[in-house]
């Protein structure tokens, strides 16, 4: 049976059309010359990979964990539709559990339940496309660096008639440097000339230098204070 | 003594009348006061009306050689009439008028005394021969009026005579006024620019809650005064009506007049200009005696009528 060529527009087309309409209806303008300081508590979900073998699948072990933290951002309006700026992000995650995982303990492969906690700190800089005046949808792209603090991993094995609670080889507490790329979207509403509230979500991909990659999706409610700085 | 017209003379008189009619303006005769007649404004104006007070009046009328001039009264004339020169032919024209024609080649002036039978109108008419290129009358009407009316007309005529040169002067001044003002303004600006001409870049910005933003971009020092150049960026959905621009040094107002380039106008005369929604208006405000505020921070406030939508910039505005 042949498929009809006159298919209904997909959701991507619909969203694109809505975005174009919104931009046209709102003059695609934001806040030239303004500086904005933003505070945003966030909730996050991290997808943390460890260099251990997932005994069940044979792949590298990946765990999804929830977390929370906050962002503090500072932006400056180059144009009415374009801001540049950066943000500092701190996020802590709950303990990631990889079960079953096979790791080396004193050189011997041991299978068990591996647990480890990760905390992140990131410094990102980028540009924000702002598409509104009072209600402001925005799209943000950023690049930066991050630091990943890893606690000592703990391997537990209570299923083989033994009580094992050790730190595997090479999995002591450590600190790793990441290169970070992020994409954010959101919607802000300007309450008055100084204060703005907003909702935003970010997707961040961190490439570790010597450590496995880390993906984080975060979202939160923001509060911003805006003023005109005297630059010179 | 008024004599009757002969047929030949009557024919000539009719021919003269036809000529007079051909050269007469269709407009009604202009009221002329009980004073010597003034030359008509144009040669086509060949009628006149003289107002005669009860005590009589003396008038003058220019006439052309070869043309007939009719003196017309509102009532029957007395048969007695006196003419001072034989170079003028005077004939009765009906029983309430006389026709006068120049017959002597050297005729210049004659006076003619006339009165109506009732005695209500008594005039002494001076007829002066003028060249063909000068205006002359071919019909003169006499109208009996009260002394008050005659005085009023005389007064109006006197005032008109007094005002005429003033009006002419005023008209000339009006024609030259724009040029004069422009020249003086240009000269004043040139003098000030010679004294001082400096521009200072400023980057002061502020906004109100309605998304109307003011950018102060420049300060200009010209002579003894300063100017603040600003933009009003209206990002709201309604027009911003600028009614006041105030510049303060501490609590003292130092601003002069303000102007705003505006594509639209407002009926309210207190509104300096209107910035439509989504548009940018460029404005300027004078800071008088700028030397007194050199180095002192200034505050600029723009506002709409009754202070609506006020925006105050109190940082970054400084004449250095």
Domain spans in chain A, listed from the N-terminal domain onward: 33-226
For B59-85, letters b (16+ CB in 10 Å) and e give bbbbbbbebbbbbbbeeebeeebebeb
pTM of the full structure: 0.64
- B123 and B45 assigned to the same domain: yes
B172 within some domain: no
Same structural domain, B89 and B207: no
B28 and B48 Cβ atoms separated by less than 8 Å: no
A208: pLDDT strictly greater than 80:
yes
B64: in domain: yes
Hey, is the C-beta of B235 within 8 angstroms of any chain A C-beta? yes
Residue B139 located in a structural domain: yes
Whether the per-residue pLDDT at B15 is higher than 50: the answer is: no
Last residue of a domain, one of B149, B170, B186: B149
Residues A179, A195 contacting (CB under 8 angstroms): no
Considering only CB atoms, A134 lies closest to which of B204, B207, B211, namely: B211
Question: What's the structural domain count of chain B?
Answer: 2
The distance of A143 to chain B (nearest Cα, Å) reads: 30
Judge whether B233 lies within some domain: yes
pLDDT reading at B28 higher than 70: no
- d(CA A208, CA A148) in angstroms, rounded, equals 8
Average pLDDT, whole number, for chain B? 83
What is the least distance, in Å, from the CA of A33 to any CA of chain B?
A: 8
Contact A71, A38 (CB under 8 A): yes
d(CA B88, CA B250): 90
Say if A29 is an interface residue toward chain B (CB within 8 Å): yes
- Let me know if residue B176 belongs to a domain: no
Instruction: Name the DSSP letter for residue A28.
Output: T
Are the beta carbons of A27 and B316 separated by less than 8 Å?
no
Going from the C-alpha of B30 to that of each of A64, B64, B80, B284, the distances in angstroms are: 108, 20, 29, 55
Nearest-CA residue of chain B relative to A227? B206
Domain containing B213 equals: 197-313
Please name every residue paired with A93 in a beta bridge, in sequence order, or none if there are none. A67
On whether the CB atoms of residues A154 and A184 are closer than 8 A, the answer is no
Query: B215, A232: Cβ pair inside 8 Å?
Result: no
Does residue B216 share a domain with residue B90? Answer: no
User: Which one of B132, B149, B166 terminates a domain?
Assistant: B149
Contact of B312 with chain A, judged by CB distance below 8 Å, is answered with no
B69 pLDDT above the threshold of 50 = yes
Cβ–Cβ of B235/A27 closer than 8 Å?
Answer: yes
Q: Does domain A33-226 have CATH number 2.40.160.20?
A: yes
Query: Residue A121: which of A206, A199, A36 has the closest Cα?
Result: A206
Using an 8 Å Cβ cutoff, are B228 and B254 in contact?
no
Interchain contact, B205 vs A134, CB within 8 Å: no
Per residue in B110-155, pLDDT (tens digit) is 888 888 988 888 999 999 999 888 889 999 999 888 888 888 888 9
Of B215, B278, B315, the CB nearest to A27: B278
For residue A34, list chain B residues with Cβ-Cβ distance below 8 A.
205
Does residue B184 fall inside a structural domain?
A: no
Q: Which two tokens stand for residue A2?
A: 């042949």
Exposure b/e, B119-150, CB count within 10 A at least 16 = b: eebbbbbbbbbbeeeebbbbbbbbbbbeeebb
Mean pLDDT in residue range B91-100:
88
CB proximity A193 to B under 8 Å: yes
The SS3 assignment for B166 reads: helix
Higher pLDDT, residue A15 or A211: A211
CB nearest to A193's CB, from B207, B278, B316: B207
CATH number for B225: 2.60.40.10
Contact B205 A33 (CB under 8 A): yes
The pLDDT tens digits of the residues spanning B284-302 come to: 999 999 999 999 999 999 9
Burial class (CB in 10 A: 0-12, 13-18, 19+), B225: middle
């Amino acid at each position: 049976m042949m498929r009809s060529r006159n298919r209904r527009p997909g959701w991507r087309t619909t969203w694109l059309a809505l975005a174009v309409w919104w931009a046209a209806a709102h003059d695609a303008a934001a806040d030239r010359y303004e500086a904005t300081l933003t505070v945003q508590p966030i909730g996050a979900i991290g997808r943390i990979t460890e260099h251990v073998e997932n005994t069940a699948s044979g792949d590298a072990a990946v765990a999804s964990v929830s977390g929370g933290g906050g962002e503090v951002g500072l932006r400056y309006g180059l144009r009415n539709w374009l801001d540049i700026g950066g943000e500092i992000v701190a996020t802590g995650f709950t303990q990631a559990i990889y079960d079953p995982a096979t790791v080396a303990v004193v050189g011997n492969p041991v299978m068990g339940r591996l647990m480890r906690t990760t905390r992140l700190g990131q410094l990102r800089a980028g540009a924000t496309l702002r598409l509104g005046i009072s209600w402001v949808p925005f799209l943000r792209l950023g690049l930066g660096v991050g630091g990943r603090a890893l606690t000592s991993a703990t391997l537990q094995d209570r299923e083989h008639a033994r009580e094992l609670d050790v730190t595997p080889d090479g999995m002591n507490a450590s600190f790793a440097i990441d290169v970070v790329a992020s994409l954010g979207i959101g919607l802000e509403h300007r309450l008055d000339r100084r204060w703005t509230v907003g909702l935003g979500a970010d997707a961040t991909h961190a490439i570790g230098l010597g450590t496995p990659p880390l993906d984080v999706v975060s979202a939160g409610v923001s509060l911003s204070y805006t003023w005109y700085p005297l630059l010179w | 003594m008024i004599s009757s017209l002969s047929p030949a003379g009557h024919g000539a008189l009719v021919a003269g009348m036809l000529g007079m009619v051909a050269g007469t303006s269709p407009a009604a005769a202009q009221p002329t006061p009980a004073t010597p007649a003034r030359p008509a404004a144009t040669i086509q104006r060949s009628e006149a009306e003289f107002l005669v007070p009860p005590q009589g009046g003396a008038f003058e009328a220019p006439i052309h050689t070869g043309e007939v001039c009719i003196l017309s009264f509102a009532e029957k004339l007395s048969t007695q009439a006196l003419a001072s020169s034989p170079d003028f032919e005077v004939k009765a024209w009906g029983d309430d008028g006389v026709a006068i024609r120049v017959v002597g080649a050297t005729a210049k002036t004659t006076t003619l005394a006339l009165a109506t039978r009732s005695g209500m109108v008594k005039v002494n008419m001076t007829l002066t021969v003028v060249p063909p290129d000068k205006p002359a009358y071919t019909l003169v009407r006499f109208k009996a009026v009260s002394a008050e009316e005659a005085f009023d007309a005389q007064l109006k005529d006197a005032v008109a005579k007094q005002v005429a040169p003033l009006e002419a002067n005023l008209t000339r001044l009006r024609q030259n006024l724009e040029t004069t003002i422009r020249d003086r303004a240009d000269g004043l600006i040139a003098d000030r620019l010679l004294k001082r001409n400096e521009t200072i870049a400023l980057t002061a910005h502020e906004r109100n809650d309605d998304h109307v933003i003011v950018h102060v971009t420049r300060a200009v020092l010209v002579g003894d005064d300063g100017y603040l150049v600003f933009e009003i960026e209206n990002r709201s959905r309604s027009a911003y009506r600028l009614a006041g621009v105030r510049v303060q040094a501490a609590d003292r107002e130092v601003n002069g007049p303000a102007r705003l380039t505006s594509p639209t106008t407002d009926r309210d005369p207190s509104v300096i200009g209107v910035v439509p929604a989504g548009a940018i208006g460029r404005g300027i405000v004078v800071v008088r005696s700028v030397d007194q505020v050199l180095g002192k921070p200034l505050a600029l406030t723009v506002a709409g009528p009754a202070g609506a939508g006020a925006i105050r910039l109190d940082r970054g505005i400084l004449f250095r």
